[in-house]
Structure 1
């Protein structure tokens, strides 16, 4: 197989970045539209916010198309900005080694595997950081740099319910309550070496642990301080 030229490597990098940028913008737009749903209402009223937000996105797309059609020179500024954003969307490690052999190797990169899956501790920290004390899934996904589906996956794995919650300044939507998370694991107690006294000594006794599991309490003899 012939070695790809520098131009081909740059073209693959730009194409890869555009796919990532489109996927990221689509996920954020979808999350923004879904955040307009009101779970405390029923029927059309519940999705009215979603419809309004979808109409805003459609109007913005139509306005952009009209702007480009009326003033095509805008593309001289828009295209470089788009290419710059596409390259910035590629993780640093992927940008350094773009598509070593063929398109299949590029699709196997970590960035192509989908949005990152946060850990339970990361979700817990995000709830503590943005919650009041409850947090919407869309807000958590934005804070963690992932999607609401990935946040749901973590919560479902640890049997944490997703339910309608009210978040200060944002109304009611699908989210999670801080009190639903399990308590953090307690730190293990220090182990006392064989033959060494522990740290819980009283004034009158000394406890010694031995390797065989025996526990011996030594009481020092009382000293007579009365003058002879």
Structure 2
């Protein structure tokens, strides 16, 4: 592959990755508008307002570009630089664990997010992680798969504030993990 072809491939790959990242950030921002203390359409009103704000922003940007076509050069340069950075080859990227390999640390995080409640929605966990600079561009499905790999039970019907969706229940976290249960079953019984 020639140098020019590698550069074009990096820009194309980066452009796709950056577009996905922007879409995921916009979706996460809109999802954070949902209120857990309300039910029905009132709970989702914040989401609709944020979607309307995004649509208004796109409309204003389109009007600005029509009024000032030279603004397109600035936007193109910005997109090219962002795509170039996002298209960095995988061997150059630092390797890091998204949540971390320590299952107990993940359990502690989930229990902290639950507070006094009986469960936590995965979208709440994902929003918390993204607010702290982790799991950017990832979805609730990715988090669900990752928690499954860590043997943390995830259920579709977890109710928080009367709304059932994918989440983790307190009773599942407070039960011994499969590794701990295996250790307890293999330990010899002690005489009293």
Residue 109 (structure 2) aligns with: 127
Does 1:41 find its partner at 2:38?
A: yes
Return the offset for 1:31.
1.9
Does 1:140 find its partner at 2:138?
A: no
Residue 154 (structure 1) aligns with: 146
Larger radius of gyration: 1
CA 1:9 to 1:155, structure 2 compared with 1: closer, same or farther past 3 Å? closer
Return the offset for 1:88.
1.5
Distance 1:178 1:77 in 2: 50
Q: Which runs of no fewer than 5 residues in structure 2 stay unpaired?
A: 184-192
1:11 to 8, 12, 19: 8
Any idea what the Cα deviations from partners look like across 1:27-85, whole Å, max 9, x if unmatched? 12112222222344333212211111110110111111111111111222221111111
Any idea what the Cα deviations from partners look like across 1:134-159, whole Å, max 9, x if unmatched? 78133234142232221223345521
Contact preservation (8 Å) 2:37, 2:43: yes
CA 1:44 to 1:68, structure 2 compared with 1: closer, same or farther past 3 Å? same
Return the offset for 1:22.
0.6
Return the offset for 1:177.
7.0
CA 1:63 to 1:121, structure 2 compared with 1: closer, same or farther past 3 Å? farther
Return the offset for 1:117.
6.6
Q: CA RMSD in A?
A: 3.7
CA 1:91 to 1:9, structure 2 compared with 1: closer, same or farther past 3 Å? closer
- Which deviates further from its counterpart, 31-40 or 69-78? 31-40
- Which deviates further from its counterpart, 67-76 or 176-185? 176-185
Matches within 5 A, 1:54-69: 54-69=51-66
Q: Aligned residues, how many?
A: 159
Contact preservation (8 Å) 2:34, 2:44: yes
Please report the TM-score for the alignment, with normalisation by the length of structure 2: 0.63
Q: Secondary structure at the match of 1:64?
A: helix
Higher RCO, Cα 8 Å, sep 6+: 2
Residue 51 (structure 1) aligns with: 48
Matches within 5 A, 1:49-198: 49-93=46-90, 118=99, 121=102, 124=106, 127=109, 131=113, 133=115, 136-142=124-130, 143=132, 144-145=134-135, 146-156=138-148, 158-161=152-155, 163=158, 181-182=173-174
Distance 1:147 1:24 in 2: 11
